[in-house]
Chains A and B, each alone.
Chain A
Amino acid sequence: MQTGVSPTVVVGSDVGVVEELARLLPPAGPVVVVAPAHRAAALSAVVVPGTADGWARAAAEVERTWGIPRTVVVAPAPVARTALADLAGPGWQSVLDRNLRTAAWASRAFAPGLARRPPASIVLVTWRHTRGPGAVHLAAVAGAIRSFALALAADLGADGITVNAVAVAEDDLAAAGPAVQLLSSPDAGYLTAEVLIPRSLPGRPR
């Protein structure tokens, strides 16, 4: 299955968002989806058990089947708006697990491979906190992902791996497409430890 072209890997804990993000990428090479479940036959996919060890095994399978990735894109999981008073502990923890913990485990699983064939990039797509109530958990996890990206960039910079975050509104995942394309390109080798905040048309800054 290896094509000689390094694959782009899109990972995440919500298969719908992962696949939507994967479809935004240019068809420059194979795109491999790594998620807890997959339903689309159009994309190559690996199913990952929801554990750290599961991510490591999934990364190994990706390398064995498609080769060492050039870029690993981590997709966010949806966060339902919930008032703080109604936010039970399990709900809060689930948001953290499906976003921050997934980003951490997936990054840790793929980083050794990326380091063996630099330059490479990790792109952490997260949500941008927009106005409106019920978003304390969204804001918390988005802030965590951003800071995680900056810290991970410091850890991996010397290995030739860039790490950046892309923050988009909950209803504007499509805006992540150009940003992910930019951060996946060879021209972005000096762009690291930043948070890009793209916004969709009409292009007016908000």
Chain B
Amino acid sequence: MSALCGRVALVTGAGQGIGAATARRLGAAGALVAVNDLNADLARETARQVNTAGGKAVAVPGDVASPADVESFTGQAESVFGPVEVLVNNAAILSMAPFAQFDPDEFDRIVNVNLTGPMLCARRALPAMRAARWGRIVSVTSIWGIVGARGATPYSAAKGGLIGFTRALADEVADDGVIVTAIAPGVVDTPQLAADAAFAGCSLAGIRQRYADDTLVKRIAAADEIAGLIVWLAADETAAFSGQTVAVTGGRSE
């Protein structure tokens, strides 16, 4: 039996891409999955996919950057399944522009969703995890949070902040049985690639090829293989990785 069977999991930003794949993987592992996304239709579609595959899921839409929304959608998850035991901080946004031209409001929005959002979700979920003396928080950061990326200053800053947050929070809650980890994917085949292509001024196929050429394995990642690692980090025997960020990049060629 999977270590996650019967566990209550909340996945943010699970309407598409890595988040949706993670929700499906968790559902297949027997977890009870609360599917969050800003877009309610996308959240419902992912929940439908989990349920159709024989899992159990409910859509809990909302904005991770809004404290009121976080309270609301976490409460919905709790009312259906019980306290959240596994939190996957996946919700993220990315827009690209040279730093000097970045709209300050957009800069703030990116930081709020990508860094403040995980903090709000973790703060809301932690009391129940600590009380149960078991919990898992897995945050999806990015290789750009480690190496930085031209045209993505707020995103890089927020993801780098999430890596530091993971390490510090892990230290705070390890004695309570809560394991906090992060994963830093490289380029993943998600709808987000369209923003990269637009910034680079090339086609979607062109940006895929360019990114693939930059890896050692000569391909970009599928969302499902990143999801598999997230689910692995959410399982029982991962205390050895507490506080760590696992980079999954296909090998950086630089």
Contact = CB atoms under 8 A, between A and B. Distances in A.
Interface of A: 153-154, 157-158, 160, 162, 175, 177-179, 182, 185-194, 196-205
B72 interface: no
22 contacts: A153-B216, A154-B253, A157-B218, A158-B216, A158-B218, A175-B240, A182-B229, A186-B228, A187-B229, A187-B232, A188-B229, A189-B225, A190-B186, A190-B217, A190-B249, A191-B246, A193-B216, A194-B246, A196-B241, A198-B244, A204-B171, A205-B174
Given A154-B216, A160-B217, A205 B250 contact: no
A185 B91 CA distance: 26
Contacts of B250: 157, 190, 192
A108 B209 CA distance: 30
Nearest to B227: A187
A154 B251 CA distance: 7
B165 to A, nearest CB: 13
Contacts, number: 100
Contacts of A153: 216, 251
Contacts of B242: 199, 203-205
Given A157-B215, A158-B217, A197 B237 contact: no
Interface SS majority for chain B: mixed
B243 A205 contact: yes
Interface size class of B (residues with CB under 8 A): 35 or more
B228 A187 contact: yes
Interface SS majority for chain A: loop
Interface in B197-254: 215-218, 221-222, 225-226, 228-229, 232, 237-244, 246-253
Contact of B241 (A162, A178, A187, A202): A178
B167 interface: yes
A183 to B, nearest CB: 10
B216 A192 contact: yes
A179 B171 CA distance: 20
Interface of B: 167, 170-171, 174-175, 179, 185-186, 215-218, 221-222, 225-226, 228-229, 232, 237-244, 246-253
Interface centre among B217, B228, B246 (most CB of A within 10 A): B217
A193 B251 contact: yes
A43 B218 CA distance: 36
Contacts of A177: 240
Contacts of B221: 190
A192 B215 CA distance: 10
A190 B248 contact: yes
Given A182-B232, A196-B246, A203-B240, 10 more contacts: A153-B251, A160-B217, A177-B240, A179-B241, A190-B226, A190-B250, A191-B229, A192-B216, A204-B242, A205-B170
B153 to A, nearest CB: 25
